[in-house]
Structure 1
Amino acid sequence: MKPSFSIVLQKAERQNRNSLMQKAFLANRIAKTVKGFSRKNSYTVKAKALNAIIEKFPNEVEIRQDAALPEMVVVSVIQTRFGLHAPRIALEAYC
């Protein structure tokens, strides 16, 4: 039996969300290993990926303030229980 359009769409959404989170994670790891302009660019890629996740999947994302670092927030995908820190200012529209 062929999957219905809604099932295909749900699968694509899940893949897109996971792809964006993976992009943010990879950019974060790269940023921690480089310096200067490359580090800034990597953190920019991370922030853009997190913003895209929040914008496209608002019901699947949790944004909470980091108690230890008030200028930072943690963006996590609820289903994966995986989150990344980001400066509050980079996600100002959503905080």
Structure 2
Amino acid sequence: MATTVAALVLVAHFSIALVREHRQLEDSLALRAKTTGSSLAIAVAEPVWNLDTQLANQCLLSAMVDPEVIGASIIDDRAGLFASLQPERYARAQ
């Protein structure tokens, strides 16, 4: 009986720790995405203003050095695609 209770306590403890770790990882990833997006927004402001998709794609290319980035897109105010990139490493995996 005591062994069963101890096992249940351990399982509960590890479950709580796993949920906390998952939340921390999600929060960290969300912060990185927001930071990367903010940096890219500054970089692409002029190419978007000048309707220069080639330069906008070059700016998006700078985000592709991060192995956790699976793509980057600029959507215009009418939900049209202005520029978009997807790293080769991700495109091959699909």
Tell me the TM-score normalised to structure 1 length: 0.43
Q: Highest Rg: 1 or 2?
A: 2
Q: Which has the higher strand share?
A: 1
With the length of structure 2 as denominator, give the TM-score of the two structures. Answer: 0.43
User: Using CA pairs below 8 Å that are at least 6 residues apart, which structure has the higher relative contact order?
Assistant: 1
